[in-house]
Amino acid sequence: MDAVEVLKGSSQVQYGPSTTGGAINMISTQIPAEFGGKVRASYGSFNSNQLHAKIGGGNSIFSYMVEYLNYGSDGFKTLSEVALAGFNKNDVVAKFKTNLS
């Protein structure tokens, strides 16, 4: 996800009969027009880590993008060996678009 857009109030929402409070729009990463990539990594306390990498490119006929996210931590609690306090998430997104005309 590249951005989160919060639209407040029923006047901001065009569609739907029961839209009285607004909407949350989650915007995914756009496919780049030129070849390129980006890597962002961080590390912190309790072995918290994050790795976000994306690469993509294309031309007027075919474009693509591959994105990878790894996010994890050991947790801040010390629990028994049976229960783990931490987490580890992996997410891969691949997109492509093509112009048929």
pLDDT digits (tens, 9 = 90+) for 26-77: 988 889 888 999 999 999 988 899 999 999 999 889 999 999 999 999 887 7
Query: Global pTM?
Result: 0.69
- Given a contact cutoff of 8 angstroms between Cβ atoms, the answer to whether 75 and 86 are in contact is yes
